[in-house]
Amino acid sequence: MPQLRTTSARALTVLGLGASARYPAAPAAQVSLDLATLHAAALSASRGAGDSTDAPYVLISIVSGNGRSTTMEMPATGHYTIHLDQALGSTPITKLDIAPGDTVRILFSVLENNTLADNELPVATATTRTLTEQQPRFGAPAANVVTPALAPLTSTGAHWLGSASVLLSNLDGKLVWGAFDCVQSCKVLSSPAKDGGSEVDAGGASGVVELSGSSATYHMKVSAKRT
């Protein structure tokens, strides 16, 4: 099972979020987050004759309202290898403890490069820092914010296939999937977020986006389950 490269840092405190004092009796919501599917319906732009596979990887930024952030890369070492119409199996991402009144934004950026880069995780960390600084409104990340953060990779040959984000909140002990937003080269195909949000229980919830950057067509399914 592929591992994750991870860094954690104390992020900036965000006023108006992380208001756990409003819900003193509610428990923390323990959540299992998974990359349920990564499917290549069309490969990214060819780099030359004989280029018949993609080498995708996923940079993940997790920013919470209580002032904490985490950065991950999947897989932890190397890149995945994927053929046309191949789907990667479900892979655990992380487990989250979301405090009462807190909200967590998870940004997924899928890139592809057949050359490994030493700065992939540092770039993910810089993206996380950018999202943390953007947090006062805690809205969906904008493409014009994420684009410069990923520029050290895309400017040296990485294909950016697309980005999407998930919003999870603990509302008085009720875990809510509040949004599944597209950020770049993305279309939401299915989402549990509707009418202000959908509760996530032990049965779990999932959403699917289509990513279409760099001539590719990928389907990414993300799932969350309360544990």
Q: What is the pLDDT of residues 151-208, one digit of tens each?
A: 999 999 999 999 999 999 999 889 999 999 999 999 999 998 765 678 898 889 999 9
Side chain identity at residue 84, one-letter code: L
Q: Is 5 exposed, middle or buried (0-12, 13-18, 19+ CB in 10 A)?
A: middle
Across 71-92, b (16+ Cβ under 10 Å) vs e yields: bbbbbeeebbebeeeeebeebe
* DSSP classification of residue 215: G
Token pair of 7 as six digits: 């860094």
> How many structural domains is the chain composed of?
1
Written as six digits, the tokens of 42 are 């069309």
Question: Among 54-63, 188-197, 205-214, where is mean pLDDT lowest?
Answer: 188-197
Tens-place pLDDT, residues 2-31: 556 665 544 323 323 444 455 456 789 999
Domain that holds residue 172: 5-226
Looking at residue 191, its amino acid is S
| CA–CA distance, 20 with 120 (Å, rounded to integer) | 34
- What is the C-alpha separation between 160 and 44, in angstroms, rounded? 9
What is the model's pTM?
0.86
